[in-house]
Amino acid sequence: MCEVTVLKNGYAFLKDGFMHANCTCTVVRSPENTVIVDTMTPWDGPFIQSKLQEIGVPQIDYVISSHGHSDHTGNNNLFIENVKQHIVGFCISNNDQYYAHPFEHDEEYKLDEWMTIVPTPGHTSEDITLVVKTKTNGMTAIAGDLFECQDDLTNSELWIANSFNPEKQASNRLKILRMVDTIIPGHGGQFNVLPEHVETAQKIVDKYGPPK
């Protein structure tokens, strides 16, 4: 089973005419691999390094960015020594070697027995979600901006306003809600999945119809 540690909860808010945002940064430790998901902005490098030292993580095996926006990729370059792969959206690489995987055909990518990457485009055209088996919270999805925050479960405008493809995002939100027990969203704290969340997501999918 995996141990999941949120290094910092993300946020997003308007102030003085500007959008202020940073992503949730998470570390997952399985019996085989240690993964960091979404490395915040380039200004957050010292914070991340300090937190990894604090929780006793000397080595990262996989660097995962749920998508390519700057607040989710800002410190990927900190993790290059002995790393197995960098995975940014649908792009998998190590140094200058790139690996083809059919995420675009809805094919999952298994890191080990406890961690699987699920393609969940919608917010951008190449979003991914890391689904893990945890010790204490059952199945957990580290979902990037597939879910902005818990409030967007009842206020769809919070995610639709930033969606590249709302139809696909609605469909993939429902898929993940049906798959897991808890969700770590891109810009807020972790929350438990409740039956009413699934029902609401289904209504939005029904409204949009099949994703295009």
Kindly report the pTM of this predicted structure: 0.95
Which among 18, 80, 83, 70 has a CA at the least distance from the CA of 39?
70
Buried b (16+ CB within 10 A) or exposed e, 171-189: bbbbbbbeebebbbbbbbe
Read off the pLDDT of residues 128-149 as tens digits, 9 standing for 90 and up: 999 999 988 899 999 999 999 9
| Contact status, residue 187 vs residue 19, Cβ threshold 8 Å | no
Would you state the CATH architecture of domain 3-150+182-191?
A: 4-Layer Sandwich (3.60)
Read off the pLDDT of residues 107-120 as tens digits, 9 standing for 90 and up: 999 999 999 999 99
